[in-house]
Each structure stands twice: as C-alpha cells, then as structure tokens.
Amino acid sequence: MSDVATDIKVPTVPAELVREPLVQNNRSFGWISDRVSAITEGKTPKWWWAAFIPSVCLLGMLGCMLFYQVTTGVGVWGNHHPTMWGWDIINFVWWIGIGHAGTLISAILFLMRQKWRTAVNRAAEAMTIFAVMCAGIYPAMHVGRVWFDWWLFPIPTYQGLWPQFRSPLMWDVFAVSTYFTVSALFWYVGLIPDLATMRDRAKTKIKQFIYGLFALGWTGSNRHWSNYEKAYLILAGLSTPLVLSVHSIVSLDFAVSQLPGWHTTIFPPYFVAGAVFSGFGMVLTLLIPLRSMCHLEDVITMRHIDVMCKVTLATGCIVSYAYIMEFVIAWYSGSAMEKFHFMNRALGPMWWGWIMMMGCNMIIPQLFWFKKVRSNLVVVFIMSIFVNIGMWFERFVIVVVGLYREFLPSNWDYFKPTWVDICTFLGTFGLFFTMFLLFMRFLPMIAVSEVKGVTPQADPHHPSAGGHGNGGKH
Amino acid sequence: MSANAKPYGLIAEFENTSSVLHAAESVRNAGFRKWDVFTPFPIHGMDKAMGIKNSKVGWFSFLGGVIGYTSGMLMIWWMNAVDYQIIVGGKPMFSAHGAFPPSYELTILFGAFGAIGGMMFLNRLPKLHHPLLKHKRFALATHDKFFVVIETTDPKYSESETRKLLEVAGSKRIEMVEE
C-alpha cells in the first residue's frame, strides 16, 4: 500500500472506434425543434403540391375502382379458378409487410438501445400505419359482399352464429386489427411531447387549440416523463412480439393449408424477415428524397442510411436462405407434388416471376456489402425500389404460382390481372402518399424530443452540458 | 396582473441538463415535496436526482394483458364450443392451440391499452388547464430550456428562502407564477 495514489491510465479511444454523432454539426436543442417544425410552419413548398395533387388523383381512382368492384362483384378482378387469390392477397401481404419496418425501428431497435432510430422512427411509424390502411382494404374488399364484413368480428348476429376461430383467416383479423391499433397508439404516444412543442410554437389561435388538444396538456414534467418513459418501454416490449406475430399469422393463412409450396414450417420466420426487408426498402425510398427536400441532412445522416442498408442486406440474406431452403426441403421431402411445385416455380410458364424475385431480393441487395454503394444515395434509392419490386414478386410467386397449377392438370389455368386490379393497386399508392404527405405537412416528421435526448449535450455528464466531463474528454 | 391572483409557485430557469440535474438534487435534499422539473426531453438520471420511485405503469399493462388473454380464450371457447357448435374438418370444438393466436393478439392489445391508460391516469392527463402553460417563458420547456418549479403550497416553501435556494443552485432567472 503506497500513500501516493497512482494515476489510472485511461486509454484513448482509437479513431476508427469513435462513432459519428447522431446529429451532425453539433446542433443545439433549439435548432432541432426549429428545423423539424419549419417543415410544418413554413410556406407549402411547390414540390409538396407536385406530389400531393397526383396522389389525391390516384386516391380518387381507388375510390372509383372500389365502387365499381363493390357494385359489380369480385369478378372485375383477375381472380378465377384455380387462382382464387390474386392481386388482392399479393397486395395485402405486400403492404402489410412494408409496415413491419416501422415497428421494427420503433420497437425492436428501441429495446436494443439503437439510438440512431430516433431520427427515422416517427416517419417509419407513420409509414406503418398508412401501409396497414392500404393493406386492410384488400381483405375487406375481397370477400365480395363488403356489407357483411362485420361478421368477421365477434359481434352477435341475428343467426346466432359466431366467427370460426379454427380458421387462420380469423387469426389474421385479430392480428391485423391489433397491429393497426397498437401501431397507431404507439405513434400517438410518441407524438404527445412533440405536439406540445408544436402547441408552444404555434402563432395562430386555431393551431394552438388543435395542437393543444392533441397534446393533452403535456408540460414536460419529469414526474410525467417517468411514467411516460415506462409506458413507452412497455409499448416497445409489446410491439416486438406483436410485429413478429403479425406476419407469422399472415404466413399461417398459407402454411395451415395443404397446398404444396404453402404448407411449410419455414413460412413464419421467412415472412417476418421478408416483411422487414421490404419495409426497410420502403423507408429508404421515402427518406432519401425527403431528407434533402426538407433539409434534414444533419438529422437523418449518412450513418442512418448506412445502417438501414445493412439491415436490408441482413434481412435480404435471411430471405435468400429461405428461398434456397424451400427448394432443398422440396427435394428432401420426396413428395412428387412438392417437387413439381418448385420445378414449376423456376421453370414453368411463370418463371419470370421467380427470376424477378431472386434477382431483386437475393442478388441486387448483395451490392450493399460495399461501403461505396451504401454511401451513394442515388444507387441506394434505386436499389430500394428494386427491393420493393422484388418483394411484390415474392408474394406473386407464393400466391399465384402456388395456385395456377394445382393438383389436377385439368384444372390448370394461366393468371392475368385485369385493368381493375392494376388501377386498384395504383390507387392504394394514392392513399399511402396522400396520407404521408399530409402527415409530414402537419405533424413533426422527426421525433423532436427523442432526437434532443440523444445529442451529447443531453447527457448531464457531458462537457457540452456543463457537466464534469467524465465521458473521456476534458 | 389582477390583485386577487394567487401565487402558484416559483419558476427557475436553467440553461443546461447538468445544472438542472444538480438543482433538482439540492431541492430534493432541502426536503421539498410539491415541486417538479420540466424538460424538453427526459434527462437520464433525473428520476434518481428527484427521488422518484419506479413508475407503476407496468402493473396497469400487466393487468390489461391478463384480461386480454383470459377473455380471448374464454370468448373463443364459449362461442365455438358452447354457444354454437359446428364441426369443421374433424377438429376439436375447442383447442388451446387454435385459440392461442387471437388470444395472444388480445393480450398485446389490452396490455397496450393498460400501458397507455395507466400512463394517462398516473399523469392525470388529459389536462385542459395548467397554471404554468400561461407563463410566457414556460413555452421554452418544450424547446430548449429547463425549469424547476416549487409550488407555494409546499410546507417548506418561503418566498425568500426558496428563491435563495434556486439562486444558489445556479438559476439566473427566477419568477413567480400565478394560479
């Protein structure tokens, strides 16, 4: 024991291990709320109108298509024997899959303490909600007689008959409606502190009143924050098993049936990975243009894009593994029907669907291994669109290719979509973009309070916060 | 300012997270009870500095989850196996496996309701009126400033002593807020 205390040598952090800050250029708290609120407070930019007007037109077209379909019948779509599920179910699964990235970012990355999520979670959660809205249209409409949709819910009817809970389609009703409700609530809870920011900045009485109403009287009290943070953590903890279960249950719509190509145990994990993959594709498609148009480069940084590319690559690899494994299992099963289905998938008349799926989901994402690609926004944007297209074709391969050549060759028939199929699908983009554009014009697109919380000066021990600087730098 | 305006409390403004954290510690150590810290974002370590116990929101969510799961299972059992039985594909009238997915979703749904409802209840939200929201400077609490507010109804409160405490804690701007 010596009397003189020896200095502990703190090793300096090597340059390659120093992380880039989440908010660049050392921006202040005030800058963050000013920058994000400017999108909702300033004059409506011309590009917003240029995007909004066509979106509303497409939304109108969706209305016309649905009206035509309801008044005429499901026969206006290309669905026919043996392909009784066509674009309706493809688009349902595609849209709902897109939503999954929003929940992954908001819930799973929150539990994993991935602080970079704060810059993108608000927009991604909004994307989830609007994508689930687009998805919900299809199962509601494809039943044909939409005025009986309420039979899906356990509400007493005059026949005294109840929903049939032994069917996975009923499970889906509960999964999708819970998913929509919980996602919307999670999103709203996250918005409350930012709505208070908007209320306190509002210049007009009407704005003050509306933002104030939805901010519920939020003051930023730390006693409130304490309960709020706990509730947020629990919601993240609940949304994580929820998001995993939703696409698992969607996959059970297929896997519980007896069809070759559908009746596989690999479906739930493979669907979830595919959903996250397609969702990140859509997040990149949306945020790359938005960050430059809304001047958010310091908040949604190149590091964010880089990380999202890596998630896309990782989930893309999981999906590719599943694609290959399906063939292996078909071969190993010894079932003639299984083997035929997979030969037909790759070499049958709809081989092009399989090629699109493999090309866009398995081969193109491999470019994300290269840092040069991940840091080139134009390339990333184009690749993200390929991911969206590839995932649409994956569902096409599963649904249509799974059905059009069923057990009896005399039942085989080629599938072609009708113009109503195509216009309805384009119309859902109208709904999606109309909602998204309204969201970004009227609500804070970035989680202001959360981004403030991950800046260095938010840490009371950091020198920039007036702390004693035990963070390594003095 | 009307003559009959009742004082609500003293509001002290702070510039950064470190100073407000230390101010909260000194207010807690002085033994105040009716006081609070207002920040644009949750500050790490503030609950400990203020002496706030772990939030009880979890219990509300747990209760919601239990209600969701049991009501899901009971509902499906009663509807398909008791009230109106139909034989489908030789499957049992009730099977925990088949009833699990919807019940699982209901667990999450009601658990989420519990978490949000519990948070609202514990925070007494929505609140249409709060004396602080009328205070001009307080609008910055959701922007970039940090505030400590000590209410006049606190037994330890005394105008001069409390003001001094907040000054020592490092606040440059201390004002009285009216009810």
Q: Tell whether B81 is within 8 A of chain A (Cβ).
A: no
- A262 by DSSP, 3-state: which? coil
Same domain, B67 and B44: no
pLDDT at A375: 93
Residue B1 belongs to a domain: no
pLDDT at B135 over 90: no
pLDDT top residue among A53 and B4:
A53
Same domain, B162 and B117: no
pLDDT at B1: 46
Q: What is the pLDDT of residues A344-362, one digit of tens each?
A: 999 999 999 999 999 999 9
User: Token match 């049958």: residue?
Assistant: A348
DSSP 8-state symbol, A335: -
Whole-angstrom CA distances from B117 to A427, B63, B110 are: 36, 11, 10
Domain that holds residue B40: 7-53+128-178
Ordered DSSP codes for B96-139: HHHHHHHHHHHHHHHHHHHHHHHHHHHHT-S-S--HHHH-GGGG
- B175 by DSSP, 3-state: which? strand
Which amino acid, one-letter code, is at B156? K
Quote the CA–CA distance of B16 and B147 in Å, as a whole number.
10
Which amino acid, one-letter code, is at A140? A
Q: How far is A383 from chain B (nearest CA, A)?
A: 34
Quote the CA–CA distance of B36 and B27 in Å, as a whole number.
10
pLDDT at A429: 96
Q: What is the pLDDT of residues A381-395, one digit of tens each?
A: 999 999 999 999 999
Q: What is the pLDDT of residues B37-46, one digit of tens each?
A: 999 999 999 9
β pairing state of B173-178 and B7-14? antiparallel
Q: What is the pLDDT of residues A183-231, one digit of tens each?
A: 999 999 999 999 999 999 998 999 999 999 999 999 999 999 999 999 9
Omega before A156 within 30 of 0, i.e. cis: no
pLDDT at A35: 87
Cβ-based contacts of A245 with chain B (< 8 Å): 101, 104-105, 108
Measured in degrees and rounded to the nearest 5, phi and psi for residue A302 equal -60, -30
Residue B171 belongs to a domain: yes
Cβ-based contacts of B99 with chain A (< 8 Å): 165
Q: Considering only the beta carbons, identify the residue of B76, B111, B127 that sits closest to A216.
A: B127
Residue % of chain A over a pLDDT of 70: 96
pLDDT at A51: 95
B35-38 sheet: strands from edge to edge? B35-38, B146-151, B7-14, B173-178
**Average pLDDT of the segment spanning A32-44:** 88
CB B27 within 8 A of CB B156: no
Structure tokens at A160: 């005294």
pLDDT at B12: 92
Residue B2 belongs to a domain: no
**ipTM reported for the complex, 2 dp:** 0.93
Q: Considering only the beta carbons, identify the residue of B40, B44, B141 that sits closest to A459.
A: B44
DSSP 8-state symbol, A73: -
**Average pLDDT of the segment spanning A112-122:** 87
pLDDT at A474: 33
Whole-angstrom CA distances from B27 to A79, A226, A364, A461 are: 70, 18, 59, 19
- For chain A, the average pLDDT equals 90
pLDDT at A20: 75
pLDDT at A5: 59
Q: What is the pLDDT of residues A422-474, one digit of tens each?
A: 999 999 999 999 999 999 999 999 999 999 988 888 888 887 777 665 443 33
Same domain, B22 and B69: no
Quote the CA–CA distance of A33 and A324 in Å, as a whole number.
48
Cβ-based contacts of B18 with chain A (< 8 Å): 460-462, 465-468
Q: How far is B68 from chain A (nearest CA, A)?
A: 12
Q: Tell whether B30 is within 8 A of chain A (Cβ).
A: no
Q: How far is A183 from chain B (nearest CA, A)?
A: 10
Quote the CA–CA distance of A65 and A424 in Å, as a whole number.
6
Residue B44 belongs to a domain: yes
Number of separate domains in chain B = 2
Same domain, B42 and B65: no
User: Token match 């021990």: residue?
Assistant: A461
pLDDT at A470: 47
pLDDT at A362: 94
Same domain, B44 and B63: no
CATH numbers and ranges of domains, chain A: 20-144+163-465 (1.20.1630.10)
Q: What is the pLDDT of residues A96-111, one digit of tens each?
A: 999 888 888 888 888 8
Q: Considering only the beta carbons, identify the residue of B16, B105, B123 that sits closest to A457.
A: B16
**Average pLDDT of the segment spanning A409-427:** 94
Whole-angstrom CA distances from A162 to A136, A143, A146, A167, B90 are: 22, 17, 18, 12, 18
Residue B156 belongs to a domain: yes
pLDDT at A7: 66
Quote the CA–CA distance of B40 and A452 in Å, as a whole number.
8
Q: Tell whether B125 is within 8 A of chain A (Cβ).
A: yes
CB A195 within 8 A of CB B125: no
pLDDT at A10: 65
Q: How far is A227 from chain B (nearest CA, A)?
A: 5
Among residues B102, B123, B144, the one where a domain terminates is: B123
pLDDT at A27: 84
CB B39 within 8 A of CB B46: yes
pLDDT at A327: 93
Q: What is the pLDDT of residues A262-310, one digit of tens each?
A: 999 999 999 999 999 999 999 999 999 998 888 888 888 888 899 999 9
- B31 by DSSP, 3-state: which? coil
Same domain, B78 and B135: no
Same domain, B143 and B170: yes
Cβ-based contacts of B126 with chain A (< 8 Å): 216-217
Q: Give the angle A462-B12-B1 at the CA atoms, nearest 5°.
A: 155
Q: Tell whether B143 is within 8 A of chain A (Cβ).
A: yes
Cβ-based contacts of A228 with chain B (< 8 Å): 42, 119, 123
CB B86 within 8 A of CB A164: yes
Among residues B80, B107, B123, the one where a domain terminates is: B123
**Average pLDDT of the segment spanning B3-12:** 82
Identify the band that residue A1 occupies on the pLDDT scale cut at 50, 70 and 90: very low
Interface test mutation site (partner B, options A106, A162, A201, A454, max chain B beta carbons within 10 A) = A162
pLDDT at A8 over 60: yes
User: Which of B177, B179, B125 is CA-nearest to residue B150?
Assistant: B177
Same domain, B39 and B67: no
Q: What is the pLDDT of residues B39-95, one digit of tens each?
A: 999 999 999 999 999 999 999 999 999 999 999 999 999 999 999 999 988 889 999
Residue B153 belongs to a domain: yes
User: Token match 């819930």: residue?
Assistant: A107
Quote the CA–CA distance of A145 and A301 in Å, as a whole number.
48
Cβ–Cβ below 8 Å for A249 and B133 = no
pLDDT at A6: 63
Cβ-based contacts of A225 with chain B (< 8 Å): 39, 42, 46
User: Which of A68, A5, A32, A392 is CA-nearest to residue B40?
Assistant: A32
Same domain, B82 and B140: no
Quote the CA–CA distance of B29 and A413 in Å, as a whole number.
80
pTM: 0.91
What is the CB neighbour count within 10 angstroms for residue B159?
Answer: 11
Structure tokens at A110: 């929150």
Cβ-based contacts of A189 with chain B (< 8 Å): 116, 119
Same domain, B140 and B113: no
Same domain, B105 and B80: yes
pLDDT at A71: 95
Residue in chain A closest to B45 (alpha carbons) equals: A460
Residue B151 belongs to a domain: yes
**Average pLDDT of the segment spanning B159-165:** 88
Quote the CA–CA distance of B17 and B42 in Å, as a whole number.
10
Residue B21 belongs to a domain: yes
Ordered DSSP codes for A177-213: HHHHHHHHHHHHHHHHHHHHHHHHH--SHHHHHHHHH
pLDDT at A25 over 80: no
Same domain, B75 and B162: no
pLDDT at A464: 77
